[in-house]
Every structure is written in structure tokens, then in C-alpha cells.
Amino acid sequence: FSSETTKMSILGLKKKQPKTFKVKVITMDAEMEFSCEVKWKGKDLFDLVCRTVGLRETWFFGLRYTVKDTHAWLKLEKKVLDQEVPKDSPITFHFLAKFFPEKVEEELVQEITQHLFFLQVKKQILDEEIFCSPEASVLLASYAVQAKYGDYDPNFHKLGFLAQDELL
């Protein structure tokens, strides 16, 4: 055999590496699937998610993944596949608030930001990850109802209309 033939046969046996990989991103109210390039850094995926949901106040959020019952945040400066992300396909990430503002009314300007924070805090209270006194729970539930349904209208808001809502 010539060395050229050997080179060709070895090259022919090399398995072509895929140029893309699939990810699933779960927000508090949606699931999205993306096809990402293998060279992408965490920032590329994070920016794509933020653009897709229409979020400009990105600094509060991150992409979290779970490996062996441990949660970790995707590092934005490293390649996605160089991190200890699950080897499943699609790779699942949760788009969550990573940092919480001290003055919500001043720092959360965009409606989508407020909405995502509300849904996450509500879930964490219901899952008992965040303690909330019964009094505060009732107050928060009243704010949620007010925001969702507006002012009370006896013609529209009949007895039991909130029965299907999962309130705090």
C-alpha cells in the first residue's frame, strides 16, 4: 500500500462531527428549541434566548442546567459544549432569574422582565423554596388578581370566577 492510500482510508473512517447540537430552553411560561453551532459560547445561546423572548434587561437572568442532581449556571464566556452540560439531546436549560433587584419598582422596567420575575417568585413560593407569611401571601395574591383581571366588576366577576386560578 502506498502512504497516500493509507491516508485516504484513515480519513474515510473518521466520523464526521456534527456542526450543530440541539437545545431546549424552558422559561417560566414557554419551551423553545434551538439548533446551535458547536463553536457557540454560552453568550451566543443566552443572547438568542433573550432576543427570542424580547428581553432587554438581560443582566438579571441566566441559563441553568442540571447534572447529577446539581444545578449549575452556563458560563457565558466558555463554549457551551466545553462545560459540564448534560450529554442528552436536546440539552435542557432553564432560563431563570439569577439575580434579584433590591428595588423592583425602579430596576425592572420592561413588562416581560416583571412577568418572568413574577412567575418565578410565584412558583418558588408555591414550591416552598421561598418563605412567605400567610399575610404576605394574601397580599401578593390580591396584587396578582388585580394585575390579571383589573378592577372588580360585579357584572363580569361572578361568584367563583377565581376558583380555577392557582393563587399564592
> What does the alpha-carbon distance between residue 4 and residue 31 come to, in Å, rounded to a whole number?
50
The answer to whether residue 35 sits within a structural domain is yes
The answer to whether residue 145 sits within a structural domain is no
Q: Which domain holds residue 63?
A: 20-97
What would the pLDDT profile of 106-157 be if each residue is shown by its tens digit?
898 998 998 899 889 889 988 889 898 989 888 888 887 877 777 878 888 7
The answer to whether residue 166 sits within a structural domain is no
Which of 97, 104, 47 shows the shortest CA–CA distance to 73? 97
The answer to whether residue 91 sits within a structural domain is yes
Between β-strands 31-37 and 20-26, what pairing exists: parallel, antiparallel or unpaired? Answer: antiparallel
57: exposed, middle or buried (C-beta count within 10 Å: 0-12, 13-18, 19+)? middle
- CA 59 to mean position of chain CA atoms: 13
The answer to whether residue 126 sits within a structural domain is no
The answer to whether residue 51 sits within a structural domain is yes
Q: Write the CATH number for 57.
A: 3.10.20.90
Four-point Cα dihedral 52, 53, 54, 59, nearest 10: -100
Tell me what the pLDDT averaged over the chain comes to: 86
SS3 readout for the chain: CCHHHHHHHHHHHCCCCCCEEEEEEECCCCEEEEEEECCCEHHHHHHHHHHHHCCCCHHHEEEEEEECCEEEECCCCCEHHHCCCCCCCCEEEEEEECCCCCCHHHHCCCHHHHHHHHHHHHHHHHCCCCCCCHHHHHHHHHHHHHHHHCCCCCCCCCCCCCCCCCCC
Q: Which three cell numbers stand for residue 161?
A: 370566577
What would the pLDDT profile of 23-58 be if each residue is shown by its tens digit?
999 999 999 999 999 999 999 999 999 999 999 999
The answer to whether residue 125 sits within a structural domain is no
Report if pTM > 0.85.
no
Q: Which three cell numbers stand for residue 94?
A: 432553564
Question: How many domains in the chain?
Answer: 1
The answer to whether residue 38 sits within a structural domain is yes
What would the pLDDT profile of 130-141 be if each residue is shown by its tens digit?
898 989 888 888
